[in-house]
Amino acid sequence: MNETQGMVKAAGQIGLYTLLSRVTGLVRDIIIGTVFGAGAATDSFFVAFRIPNLLRRVVGEGAAVAAVVPVITAYLSRRSRPETMEMIRALIGVGLVVLMLLTAVGMVWAAPLAHLFAPGFSPAQLALTTRQLRIMFPYLFFIGLVALAMGILHALRHFAAPAFAPVLLNLMIIFSALVVWLGGTPVPPIFILAYGVVIGGLCQFLWQLPMLRRLGVPLVPRWNPWHPAIRQMVTLLAPVLLGAAVYQLSVLLNSLLASLLAEGSVSALWYANRLFEFPQGIFVVALSSAALPSLATQAQGRDFHGLSESLGFALRLINFVVLPAAFGLTILAVPICAVLFFHGAFGVSHVMATAATLQGFAVGLWSVAVGRLLSACLYALQDTRSPMVTGGVALLVNVGLSLMLMGKISASGPTHGLAGFFAALSESLTVWNLGPAGLALAASLAATVNLVLLGVVLVRRLGTFPWTTWFASLAWSLAASVVMSGPVWWIAHQIEWLDKSVPLPVRLFVLTAAIAGGAVSFAVVAWPGGKAELRALASMLPQRLLRFLPQFLQSRG
């Protein structure tokens, strides 16, 4: 099996498990929205959850993607397996110490962190956020170990267990929300969600252990921070902390600025971002995760022509999935939010704010997807500095555009400290009052800047790229997406989405029909110019579906 076939097979495997994770994640958010709505309590929970989650993605998943996988891949190709396993023991030992220190610091500094990332919250809301943050910070320790295990398993070409693990987190939070819904909780209801996050992190960690043992990975750590591989990873990791997580930093920045806007803005950003990440998680993250070991192997063998071909093929797959998804999310933003969240405490204004924010995010879906894959290619070449530089530029662009598009902060809001600083800037820079939707649009435009800069760097590094076939696939996908928009828009406008007298089954049926009509019309138009890509995409899901249960049981063996 060549690297392209291996990449497609692995992406299909990751995509199926990630689909299950995203579906349970949507159910989780629907239940939270139904039980808690989109107010001060959920704003505080989402801010508190985002802080350890950001550190997990930057220090944990960022390190696993950018530093761990290429180094372990190099060891496997150049050293003996016992040497590789000894290096992994040293990696686990260092990782344990780092995660314990981060967790302890986070719990001690919970109050300053809460104020830093939500300066617009009232004192009571900051106190609530601080208490939840102290409860949730142990989640960082467990989920950091999960991310470390993910990097090791990906380097060993095993993808199923890490891809399924997030389902356990979602199930624990769902269970916690249902406990609140049933009533009789001994602590304030929103704290039950925080405890559910920690338990979910522990469950994800325990889930990884059987597969690590099965692959012969030693689980007994060794304290050896002077191991040559650890030093190499630290060298790679330093720029990764910004470069690999620029999008996550942008999301957290948006949360900070949203805390200065009207109540519910943080929740609108959270719900919209979860919907935005749905197509990313199912396909883009799956493809980039599957591509990194293949690209790293080709980079180690100095096969730059093969690496360029593999990258070009992956980018063509992105064209045929992400572009129609971006058009679909833009057109169907209100219907999707109405079907998923228009229940219980989630009102019409919440739906409209979330839908507008989702449309802002959808503008940058393709840029984020392509940028993620280009970053993975640079990491395979062990170049972590370039994504750091381009990410830093994009982050500055994001700040400037956010202040221009979010609107002026109310004069009745905070007037000192970090909040006062941003309030003064928004007063002079505002050109469009879009609220949280403006923050999402700013993140999308910044992602496009990041993509352009990454593309320039990578083309210079590789020196060759299959431009003709890539531009052809882009043209076909754009044309098919435009044609697809017509039937999607027409079907979606057959009912009034914000009329609660329309039964939920009817709304769900019309939304499903719009998505199905769009998929069929896209495939018909795109087929003449994208047969190879569409065949590759079609080959992922059916095989995975037919073999899902046996592989699921085997993965636990």
pLDDT at 15: 65
Q: What sections of 301-435 are H helices per DSSP? A: 304-331, 333-341, 348-362, 365-380, 385-405, 417-429
pLDDT tens sequence across 428-470: 777 777 888 888 899 899 989 989 999 888 888 877 777 778 8
Number of separate domains in the chain: 1
At 185, the pLDDT band (50, 70, 90 cuts) reads: low
Amino acid letter, residue 256: L
Please check whether residue 550 lies inside any domain of the structure.
no
d(CA 24, CA 393) in angstroms, rounded, equals 35
> 519: part of which helix (H) or strand (E)?
helix 504-526
Please check whether residue 404 lies inside any domain of the structure.
yes
Please check whether residue 508 lies inside any domain of the structure.
yes
- Mean local confidence (pLDDT), 208-233: 84
Please check whether residue 148 lies inside any domain of the structure.
yes
The two most distant CA atoms of the chain are separated, in Å, by 67
Please check whether residue 548 lies inside any domain of the structure.
no
Please check whether residue 281 lies inside any domain of the structure.
yes
pLDDT tens sequence across 286-330: 666 666 666 767 776 676 777 777 777 788 888 888 889 999 999
d(CA 116, CA 51) in angstroms, rounded, equals 10
- Mean local confidence (pLDDT), 210-220: 86
In the chain, % of residues over pLDDT 70: 78
pLDDT at 8: 58
- Mean local confidence (pLDDT), 217-236: 80
Polymer length of the chain: 557
Q: How far is CA 99 from CA 94, 96, 142, 166, 354, in A?
A: 9, 5, 9, 19, 34
Burial of 538 (0-12, 13-18, 19+ CB in 10 A): exposed
Among 50-59, 142-151, 487-496, whose mean pLDDT is lowest? 50-59
Asked whether the CA dihedral 27, 32, 35, 37 is positive or negative, the reply is negative
Of 403, 26, 32, 380, which is closest to residue 181 (Cα–Cα)? 32
pLDDT at 56: 64
Is pLDDT above 50 for 414? no
Percent of the chain that is helix, strand, coil (3-state, to 5): 80, 0, 20
Radius of gyration of the chain (CA): 23
pLDDT at 236: 66
Range of the domain at 351: 3-541
Please check whether residue 557 lies inside any domain of the structure.
no
Q: What is the reported pTM?
A: 0.69
Please check whether residue 556 lies inside any domain of the structure.
no
